Structure 1
Amino acid sequence: MMESTIYVLERPMLRDPIFIEGLPGIGLVGKLAAEHLIQELKAVKFAELYSPHFMHQVLIKKNSVVELMKNELYYWRNPDESGRDIIIITGDQQVAPTDSPGHYEVVGKILDFAQALGVREIVTMGGYQVPELNGEPRVLAAVTHEGLIDYYKGKLKDCQMEVLWREDEGGAIVGAAGLLLGMGKLRSMFGISLLGESLGYIVDPKAAKAVLSAVTRILGIEVDMSALDERAKETEEILRKVQEMQRAMLEQQMPPSPEEEDRGYL
C-alpha cells in the first residue's frame, strides 16, 4: 500500500450530507465527541481508510486479533425528510505532526470521497490547549468564508456553551481539523472549525461535550450527553488526584524555612 486507500463497505445514497470530523488530537476532544455522536445516533460504518502515513504498527483487539491503524467513516440518515444526512469520520490516529505531505495526501483522499457523496459543508471538531481553565470550557470557532459568520451565529444563537469567534490573526488549526476546511475551500466547499478549550494533557470529555453541544445546534438535532457527563466526573476526579500529587511533590522539594534549619542544631 503506497498511498492512502479507502475500503468501501457500503455505498449509501445520502441527502445533502454534512461531513463531521472528529479525529484524535488535543485532549482527544474531537474523537470523544465524534464517538459519542456515532453511538447516540446509532450511525452505520460504511468505509475504512488505511494509510502508509499512519504509525507503523497494528493494534491488538479482542481475542488476540491484530488490526492496522485506520480511520472509519459512518453515516446517519435523518428521519426528517426536510433534514440533511450526516457523515462522521473518526479513528485510531492522525498522520504524525512532522509528516506534512502525509497530512495533505490523507485529507485529499478524504475530500475526494466526501465530494463523491455530495458533501458541500464540513464541520471539524478538536481541542484548543490552554494553560488553565476557570469554569466551563469555551468553544473557539473559525470559518472558511467571512460571509458564513452570521450564518453560523444564527445556528449557534441558543447554544449553552460560550462560543468565541477567533480573531488571533496568524493562529493555526493543525491537522485534519484545519486542512479539511482549507483544502475543501479550494474545492468550493465551506464549513466551520469548533475547538474546545482543554488542558490537553488528559482525556477531556468536558471539552468534547462543549464542542458537541455547538455541533448539534448546527445540525439541528438533540443528543443525550449523560455519558459524556459521567466521563467528565471521572476525569475531574483523576485530575484532582494528579494535582494533589503535584502539590505534595512541590512541598517535598521546597527548602526548609530558617526556623526549621535552626531547630536542626538543637
Structure 2
Amino acid sequence: MAHIAVHSDVELDAPAMVEGLPGLGLVGKIAADHLVSSLDLEYYAAVHCDGIPQVSVYQADSSDLLPPVRLYVNDDGTLLVLQSDIPVSPQVAGGFAECITSWVVENDVTPLYISGLPSEKDADVPDLYGVATGDGNALLDEAGIVPPAEGGLVSGPTGALLAEAGEQGVTSVGLIAEASKQFPDPEAARSVLEYGVEPLADVEVDTDDLVDQAEEIREARERLAERMQQAEGDESSQAQPLRMFQ
C-alpha cells in the first residue's frame, strides 16, 4: 500500500520540500544530494509510493539498508528534501504524484519541483525560470524568479507532480534550469540552489565546491544518466519547448 513512513522525531513547521528526482542533466538529483550532505540533514521518512521499484540501497561505510526514495529534514522542520537514487517510471508517475501530493497537503508542505531545460548554451550561470500552481506565483515574484521566455511543458514524474499539484490547487513552484542534454550538470544545479531554493526556502547553501568538483560529480552520476537515456529516452523528467511538438 502506498504510504510515507516517518522515522524521525522532528516536527514539521510548514516546510518547503525540494524534489530531487533524476531527470535531464540530473539537475534535481545533484541539488538534492548537495542539500542533504552540505546541510547535514536528518533521514526523515521512507517513501513507498507507486512507481518506485522494490530495491534497497546501501551507502559507503554503512551496513544499513535504505529505501531508494527518501525524505530528509533540517533540525527545525522547515526544510525537506526528497532524495532519490533511482528514476521513477513515467508509466506509473500518476500514482506516484498522487501519493506525494496527498502527503504534501496533509503536512502543509510547499513543494519546489526541479526540471532541466535542454540547452546548447555553455554559460557559467545557466538561466533559471519559474512556473507555479496555487499561490506559487507570489513566491516566485518575491524571490525574483522570472517566467520562461517561451512556452513549453514539463514531462516525466516531475511533470506529473506539477500536474497533480495544479489539479488539487496546491501551492507549488517549478524551477526550470537550462541544462546539458547529455551530461550531469552541476552548474545548473548551482543556479537552482542559489537563485531558487535559497530565497524560496529561506536557507543558505554553500555551493562553491559544487562546481569545483564538477568532474567528480559527472563521473559519479554518469552511469545513472546513461540508464535514464537508455530506459526512457525523452520520457524522463525535463522541460521542453512546445515548438518541439508543433
TM-score with structure 1 length normalisation? 0.70
Deviation by residue 1:98-157 (Cα, 9 ceiling, x = unmatched): x1xx101112111222222222x2211232111343443111221115x6435422223x
2: CA distance, partners of 1:122 / 1:164: 18
Label 1:112 to 1:131 Cα distance change in 2 as closer, same or farther (>3 A). Answer: same
Query: Following TM superposition, by how much is the alpha carbon of 1:182 offset from its aligned partner in structure 2, in angstroms?
Result: 2.2
Partner of 2:115: 126
Higher CA-based Rg:
1
Change (3 A) 1:107 1:226: same
* Distance (Å, rounded) in 1 between the aligned partners of 2:39 and 2:217: 24
Structure 1: how far apart are the matches of 2:57 and 2:13? Answer: 35
Q: Deviations over 1:229-265 (max 9, x none)?
A: 212365799xxxxxxxxxxxxxxxxxxxxxxxxxxxx
Read off the aligned partner of 2:42 and give its amino acid letter. V
**Contact 2:184–2:218 (8 Å) recurs in 1:** no
Unaligned runs of 5+ in 1: 79-83, 157-162, 238-266
Aligned residues of 2:89 and 2:157 also touching (Cα < 8 A): no
Partner-residue secondary structure (3-state), 1:88:
strand
Alignment deviations for residues 64-87 of structure 1 (CA, whole Å, 9 cap, x no partner): 979686211011144xxxxx7111
Distance 1:232 1:62, change over 3 A: closer
Q: Which runs of 5+ in 2 are unaligned?
A: 220-246
For 2:188, give the aligned amino acid: A
Give the secondary-structure state (helix, strand or coil) at the position aligned to 2:30: helix
TM-score by length of 2: 0.75
Distance in 2 separating the partners of 1:232 and 1:46: 28
- Is the 8 Å Cα contact of residues 140 and 146 (structure 2) preserved in structure 1? no
**What one-letter code is carried by the residue in structure 1 that aligns with 2:20?**
G
Q: Could you say which residue in structure 2 is the equivalent of 1:91?
A: 84
Determine the C-alpha separation between the residues in 2 that align with 1:235 and 1:46. 25
- The corresponding residue for 1:196 is 177
Over the matched positions of the two proteins, sequence identity in percent amounts to 24
Is the 1:22–1:31 contact (alpha carbons within 8 Å) kept by the matching residues of 2? yes
Asked whether the equivalents of residues 21 and 88 of structure 2 are also in contact (C-alpha less than 8 Å), the reply is no
Aligned residue for 2:177, secondary structure, equals strand
Q: How many residues align?
A: 218
Distance in 2 between residues matched to 1:65 and 1:52, nearest whole Å: 26
CA distance in 2 between counterparts of 1:179 and 1:112 reads 13
Amino acid at match of 1:182: A
**Which amino acid is 1:17 matched to?**
P
Counterpart for residue 250 of structure 1 = none
Q: In the alignment, which residue of structure 1 is the partner of 2:223?
A: none
Q: Does 1:28 align with 2:26?
A: yes
Match of 1:112 in 2: 102
Match of 2:140 among 145, 149, 152: 152
Given residue 35 of structure 1, which amino acid in structure 2 is its aligned partner? D
Amino acid at match of 1:149: N
Is contact 2:18–2:111 with CA below 8 Å preserved after alignment? yes
Q: Which residue of 1 aligns with 2:73?
A: 75
Give the Å deviation of 1:188: 2.9
Matched, 1:231 2:196: no
Once the two structures are superposed, the pairs formed by residues 245-260 of structure 1 within 5 Å of their partners are: none
Alpha-carbon RMSD across the aligned residues, in angstroms, is 3.0
